[in-house]
Amino acid sequence: MDLGIRGKAALVTGASRGLGRAVAEALLAEGVDVAISARTAADLDRARDEMVASTGGRVVAIAGDLSTEAGPGEVVRAALESLGRIDVLVLNSGGPPAGPFEAHDRGAWRAALASNFESAVELVRAALPGMKQRGWGRIIAITSIAAKQPVDGLILSNASRAAVTGFARTLANEVAAHGITVNTVLPGYTRTRRVETLAENLAAARGCAPSEVVEGWTSQVPAGRLGEPAELGAMVAFLASERASYITGTSIPVDGGWIRSLL
């Protein structure tokens, strides 16, 4: 299927590895010019070079800390200077630390909201005017299954991802008349470094092997396995496409059936 977005320009955050990188690669495969952003310049440059070598597409690397007040605006401005516009904005940030409520002080809550929620708001604030001017845009937030069905021990993620979902759903109604769609994608247990780290931490606390933790997660997934980053990337690429122009305000799990709710 031709997704109809060849020649569009995208900004994907948190894209030096994991889910963000998989999204960038999926968009590049569709002929989209992509700006990738993350904190560490060396990791970004390596990812850019590898993606250019494998796809032949146009990739721009922009290092920046989105948890700071100025960071989101600076990243968007750099992407606009390099690509000329942003048609597709993919909001992706690393998950906050695991642990129960009493393990996190006020600083941890502020950091989680700055990284996961406030960064999303400010990225949209900077990129939205151009989309409205052109009458076309795609805003896609990568959240988590925790936004719909809270995961034990991830209270910071459960709360901050839900905040992004409320923001995105409300924004979708406000900008739909301008040809802009806003959706969230909810990855389940996916084979990324973040999930590996969670497994290692839980295993240390329980006194077992990380593989046992992963087996426990897998047993909860009807598909019987962890997801692959490329599967999440494919969903985001479709939502970014011309073919998905009548899909907005949705939260779509990519979780192998882990979420049990009807809606």
Contact between 145 and 188 (Cβ < 8 Å): yes
Gap between the Cα atoms of 101 and 78, Å rounded: 37
pLDDT given at position 202: 85
Gap between the Cα atoms of 229 and 145, Å rounded: 15
pLDDT given at position 254: 98
Gap between the Cα atoms of 69 and 31, Å rounded: 32
Give the domains, in start order, of the chain with CATH numbers: 9-189+228-254 (3.40.50.720)
pLDDT tens sequence for the chain (263 residues): 789 999 999 999 999 999 999 999 999 999 999 999 999 999 999 999 999 999 999 999 999 999 999 999 999 999 999 999 999 999 999 888 889 999 999 999 999 999 999 999 999 999 999 999 999 999 999 999 999 999 888 999 999 999 999 999 999 999 999 999 999 999 999 999 888 888 898 888 889 999 999 999 999 999 999 999 999 999 999 999 999 999 999 999 999 999 998 87
What is this structure's pTM?
0.95
pLDDT given at position 203: 87
pLDDT given at position 155: 95
